[in-house]
Amino acid sequence: MSHPTPVSRQNRIETLDVLRGFALLGILTMNIRGMAAPLSAYMYPAAVFEYSGASRLAYLFTNVVSDLKMMGLFSMLFGVSVLLYSAKLTASGQPPRGLWFRRMGWLLVIGLVHAYFIWGGDILVPYALCGMLILWWARRLPAGALLAASIAALAIGAALTVAHGLGWEEISEAERAQEAAIMMPTPEQAREHVEWMLGPYTETVANHAPTVFLFETVIFLTFFLWRCSGMMLLGMALYKWGFLDGSRATRTYALTASLSLPIGLALCTYGTLQLDRAGFALPERIILDLWNYTGAIFVSIGYAALLILAVKLGALSGLRRALAAVGQMALTNYLLHSIVASVLFLGWGFGLAGQFDYAEQLAIVVAIWAVQLALSPVWLAHYRFGPAEWLWRSLTYWQRQPLRREAQHSSSFGGAVA
């Protein structure tokens, strides 16, 4: 290959697209908590809604099956992307390092716009930073070294959590109050957060900016850096072992799913029930979250194994194709989650923030799933990329990419592709 170009549809790996689509849709089951209500309702179930009945069951259910699992699976696949990208060659026969960092730089820009102006629970900024700080430099490590690095990163994240929980009384009262306002707000704080969502757009952006900044600095350094990079490195190791592309024997995936899922779900269920017993209160929840932190790793691997097994067995062919289409348009569909939620819940839209409890939120999630599963294959039947993917690729290569399937040529934005 004389010049790096976007991957063609024929060269895509089905298992990766299916896994990405599944993870992307699953992420919405968690993100909807901080979209239909303040981010504090994501952390603390009694912040806005009555924590009982179907709403309580929905919160506990999503905690067990989705929290950190879907992000973990998506992170594993993001780690694989650097291996696929670095396999391309520039005209000089070298991996396209400049293009990778340009790609991550534009992802950072998209993430910052998304975080500050659309929805504060953004994950694109941490992904872009991990992509620049860690992934490119780790890509040549053998699978065993990648696994060791993954374990080390995840262990550092766990150790920081333990240190934070044990040192709760040592931090200043102001710092405890700042964290409690997000993790366990008072009823008055929760009502104020809802009012922010229902206010004018400019005020909503201004009120949420400090929390967004906190997430992308302190919380990135103490949590996302280690959790996301740890799962990305794990994904790189599993891909190099031939696991994530479906190269292993069918029995390998069946055995992995049958072991990983029960172990992981048991740990997560125990931890969630302990959190429920403790009322999700600080500082107890900081340490109790480690059950889910650990169990989610096994569940993410188990989900991957189960879906790859389905692909290898040819099961659920229609759903698989739809999930693969959603996965090919992951950035577009991810941003659409935030845009649709903003229209539904914020004051400049329909202003429905705080009106749907956790069970009702899942009904909205299913409706969004249905639309994206139906429309993504239709879009890709006519276009090569989703709109956001097209923009991202065009900016990365600094060359307008052909969008329609029948297009044969592209026009340059200017400048040579490195």
355 falls within a domain: yes
Q: Whole-model pTM above 0.75?
A: yes
Instruction: Please give the pLDDT value at position 92.
Output: 62
Alpha carbons 24 and 168: distance in angstroms, whole number: 34
- Which positions ≥6 away from 18 have C-beta within 8 Å? 307, 308, 310, 311, 320, 323, 324, 327
What are the residue ranges of helices labelled H in 32-142? 39-43, 53-65, 69-86, 97-117, 124-130, 136-138
Residue 353 has pLDDT above 50, yes or no: yes
1 falls within a domain: no
3 falls within a domain: no
| Confidence band, pLDDT 50/70/90 cuts, at residue 354 | very high
417 falls within a domain: no
**pLDDT tens digit sequence for 95-150:** 789 999 999 999 999 999 999 999 999 999 999 999 999 999 999 999 999 999 99
Mean pLDDT, residues 15-39: 96
237 falls within a domain: yes
Instruction: Please give the pLDDT value at position 405.
Output: 85
Three-class DSSP category at 40: helix
Domains: count for the chain: 1
117 falls within a domain: yes
Find the farthest-apart pair of alpha carbons in the chain and give their distance in angstroms, rounded. 64
Mean pLDDT, residues 336-358: 97
Q: Cis peptide before 283, with omega less than 30 degrees from 0?
A: yes
Mean pLDDT, residues 5-20: 70
**pLDDT tens digit sequence for 218-240:** 999 999 999 999 999 999 999 99
Q: How many other CB atoms are there within 10 angstroms of residue 390's CB atom?
A: 20
Confirm if 152 and 135 have CB atoms less than 8 A apart: no
411 falls within a domain: no
Alpha carbons 380 and 317: distance in angstroms, whole number: 17
Residue 414 has pLDDT above 50, yes or no: no
Tokens matching residue 66? 């989705």
303-321 core/surface letters (b: 16 or more CB in 10 A; e: else) = bbbbbbbbbbeeeeeeebb
**pLDDT tens digit sequence for 166-186:** 999 999 999 899 899 989 999
Q: Residue 375's domain spans which residues?
A: 9-397
| Confidence band, pLDDT 50/70/90 cuts, at residue 413 | very low
Mean pLDDT, residues 254-281: 97
R_g of the chain computed on alpha carbons: 21
Tokens matching residue 87? 């396999």
**pLDDT tens digit sequence for 185-206:** 998 999 999 999 999 999 999 9
What are the residue ranges of helices labelled H in 282-316? 284-313
111 falls within a domain: yes
Three-class DSSP category at 383: strand
